Structure 1
């Protein structure tokens, strides 16, 4: 939408202007979407971005909270440490939401970038550790397909431990 309406500017790393289609926006990147929507439906850009951010932030916070709580319960169980960790997480989330609501958005974006970066690194490490099992599973799948079989995942055959979800009871 930003490109179609021409509501963008492009800058070199040095800050010098390369393309200036919207001189009134300068380098305020956040308002490009608002300006693009305003160009199509005047007066609606601010409202649209505000509601979009509200829903994005709410769903993102709920998802991250769910991931964190289930991870704490998985790692520490539902007993003493798990319960303590979940309550600590709840307090931390409330403090973070309050702090984020009274501070400048730049700090919130920086902290968000750090959090997403940490999650990406953790996921990359997990993918690296799971790679050998994944390759074994893929080769087994391909062999079963070559034989004309309906592929069935058998963790014991592939020497994958603690995969009791697929075991028949």
Structure 2
């Protein structure tokens, strides 16, 4: 005798029951919107994130920048090299510690901030969520990230 298949609402192995899939699909959808908006600025999404941190904090050691972005130096170094080639950031090796490199936005990089000012508003509009809903969602995602970080 075969057992009946579980109902869709209780079959936790269905794709539509996976939170990771929903998060990945949302992330890919965000990526598409950002790709269009950031093309106007000449930035990729990872480059935009680097610039956001630098606009907020100014000059930072690469290690600290990586901590803010949750990226390792192997991923960050090529990003910074492309941003430096574009004239948006300047990297400099520390005189005190040759292993440490600091990065700061150039004047051109700082000026780009003005052009980028509309990006968050346009993203918010694209979500169809109001400000309170966006803040609540971000808080819940931050909570989820902390919970997952402490799990493994």
Higher RCO (Cα < 8 Å, 6 or more apart):
2
Shorter-chain TM-score: what band?
Answer: under 0.3
Q: What TM-score, normalized to structure 1?
A: 0.24
Q: What TM-score, normalized to structure 2?
A: 0.25
Larger fraction in helix: 1
Larger Rg: 1
